[in-house]
A = this chain, B = another copy of it.
């Protein structure tokens, strides 16, 4: 289980965009050469980011990409979910639903009896999903802007001084 390389590239591309963010459009070639990947590959990633409203794209001469909203409202979680998808990290197959009786929580059959007990009370799921939520809350709290804010001042070349 690992994050895909595409996720890393998406993050790096967005940091680059946020960097030169004064309403300017950045072309795919500048982005891809900056990241050291091919433009055909990166364009797929950018296209996904556009479909999910993270960036805007414009065609034609002097076109390119820009952030669709301020960098402090683009969290790492947003980006990761676009690339990795939104399924849960842990999903049990129904084929697996020969589950241990032990896996059901203590308070049971008193409150609900119409649904699958699996989906709400399973303790295995509770732990695995709880772990995922921990990670997500951390990722939600860190934005693209956070990276810019904590970066070495010497590295910030553009600023706003033309």
Most buried by B among A19, A88, A92, A151: A151
Task: Give A147's nearest chain B residue, CB to CB.
Answer: B123
Task: Give A88's nearest chain B residue, CB to CB.
Answer: B2
Complex interface residues of chain A between 1 and 54 (CB less than 8 A to chain B): 1-5, 7-9, 11-12, 15-16, 19, 34-37
Checking B3, B95, B102 against A128 with a beta-carbon cut-off of 8 angstroms, the contacting residue is: B3
What class of interface size applies to chain A in its complex with B?
35 or more
Is chain A's interface secondary structure helix, strand, loop, or mixed overall?
A: helix
Give bound CA distance, A155 to B108, whole Å. 11
Give bound CA distance, A102 to B19, whole Å. 8
* In contact, A131 and B135 (Cβ under 8 angstroms): yes
Checking B35, B85, B130, B151 against A105 with a beta-carbon cut-off of 8 angstroms, the contacting residue is: B151
Complex interface residues of chain A between 98 and 117 (CB less than 8 A to chain B): 98-106, 108
* In contact, B147 and A3 (Cβ under 8 angstroms): no
Task: Give A5's nearest chain B residue, CB to CB.
Answer: B93
Give bound CA distance, A37 to B138, whole Å. 36
Complex interface residues of chain A between 54 and 73 (CB less than 8 A to chain B): none
* In contact, A36 and B106 (Cβ under 8 angstroms): no
Checking B15, B90, B106 against A103 with a beta-carbon cut-off of 8 angstroms, the contacting residue is: B15
* In contact, B157 and A101 (Cβ under 8 angstroms): yes
- Chain B residues contacting A34 (CB-CB under 8 Å) are 98, 100
Give bound CA distance, A3 to B100, whole Å. 20
* In contact, B89 and A152 (Cβ under 8 angstroms): no
Give bound CA distance, A134 to B137, whole Å. 9
* In contact, A104 and B155 (Cβ under 8 angstroms): yes
